[in-house]
Chain A
Amino acid sequence: MAQEYKLILKHADAPGYTPDIECYLRHGGYATLRKALALTPKNLADGKTLSAPEQIREEVKVSGLRGRGGAGFSCGLKWSFVDRKSGKPIYLICNADESEPGTFKDRQIMHKDPHQLVEGMILSCFANDVHLAYIYIRGEMVEGAKILNQALKEARAKGFLGKNISGSGYDLEMHVHRGAGAYICGEETGLIESLEGKRPYPRIKPPYFPAVLGLWMCPTIVNNVETLCNVKHIVEMGGAAFAQLGTPNNTGTRIVSLSGHVQRPGYYEIEIGKATIGELIHDPKFGGGLRPGRTLKAVIPGGSSAKVFKAGEKFKLKKKDAEGKEILVETDMLDLPYDFDSLAAAGSMSGSSAIIVMDDSTDIVEALANISEFYAHESCGQCTPCREGSLWMSKTLHRLTHGEGRAGDADYLVKIADNIPGGRTICAFGEACSWPVQSFVAKFKDEFVAKGAADEARRAQQAAAPAGQKPLAAAHH
Chain B
Amino acid sequence: MNFTVTPSLEAEVDELITHYPVKRAASLMVLHAIQAQFGWVSPEAVQWTAKKLELQPINVLEILTFYPMLRQEPMGRHQIKVCRTLSCALGGAHELREHFCEKFGLDAHKHGAQTTPDGKFTVEFVECLASCGTAPVMMVNDEFYEGVTHAKADEIVGKCK
Binding site for B on A (CB under 8 A): 98-104, 106-107, 132, 138-143, 175, 177-183, 194-200, 216, 257-261, 265-267, 300, 304, 354, 356, 358, 362, 366-367, 370-371, 373-374, 377-378, 477
30 contacts between A and B (CB under 8 A): A99-B128, A101-B127, A102-B86, A103-B132, A104-B131, A104-B132, A139-B69, A140-B126, A140-B144, A142-B144, A143-B144, A175-B19, A177-B29, A178-B28, A194-B28, A196-B25, A197-B24, A197-B27, A198-B62, A258-B133, A259-B90, A260-B87, A265-B135, A354-B132, A367-B90, A370-B85, A370-B89, A374-B128, A377-B127, A378-B127
B90 CB contacts on chain A under 8 angstroms: 259-261, 356, 358, 362, 367
In-complex Cβ contact of A370 among B24, B86, B129 (8 A): B86
Q: Which of B75-104 contact A (CB under 8 A)?
A: 81, 84-87, 89-90
Q: How far is the CB of A226 from chain B (nearest CB, A)?
A: 13
Other-chain residue from B32, B128, B139 in contact with A101 (beta carbon distance below 8 A): B128
With a cutoff of 8 Å between Cβ atoms, the chain A residues found around residue B28 in the complex are 177-180, 194, 197
A257 and B24 alpha carbons, distance in the complex (Å) = 36
Count of residues in B whose CB is under 8 Å from the partner chain: 42
Residues of B within 8 Å of A265, CB to CB, are 87, 132-135
Contact of A99 among B29, B53, B127 (CB under 8 A): B127
A contact patch SS? mixed
Question: Which residues of the partner chain A approach B20 to less than 8 Å between Cβ atoms?
Answer: 175
Give, as a whole number of angstroms, the nearest-CB distance from B85 to chain A: 5
Q: Which partner residue on chain B sits nearest A366 by CB separation?
A: B89
The CA of A100 and the CA of B62, in the complex, are separated in Å by 24
CB distance from B26 to the nearest CB of A (A): 7
**With contact pairs A139-B67, A195-B25 given, residues A374 and B127 touching in the complex (Cβ less than 8 Å):** yes
CB distance from B74 to the nearest CB of A (A): 17
Question: Which residues, 123 to 148 on B, are CB-close (under 8 Å) to A?
Answer: 126-135, 139, 142, 144
- When the two chains form their complex, are residues B86 and A304 in contact, meaning their CB atoms are under 8 A apart? yes
Alpha-carbon gap, A367 to B130, bound state (A): 18
Besides the contacts A101-B132, A106-B130, A370-B89, what 17 more A-B pairs have beta carbons closer than 8 Å? A102-B128, A103-B128, A104-B133, A107-B130, A139-B69, A177-B28, A178-B29, A180-B67, A181-B67, A181-B70, A197-B25, A199-B62, A304-B85, A304-B128, A370-B86, A371-B86, A378-B127
Contact of A181 among B29, B59, B69 (CB under 8 A): B69
Q: Is the CB of B68 within 8 A of A181?
A: yes
Check B161 for interface membership: any CB of A closer than 8 A. no
**Interface flag for B159 (CB, 8 Å):** no
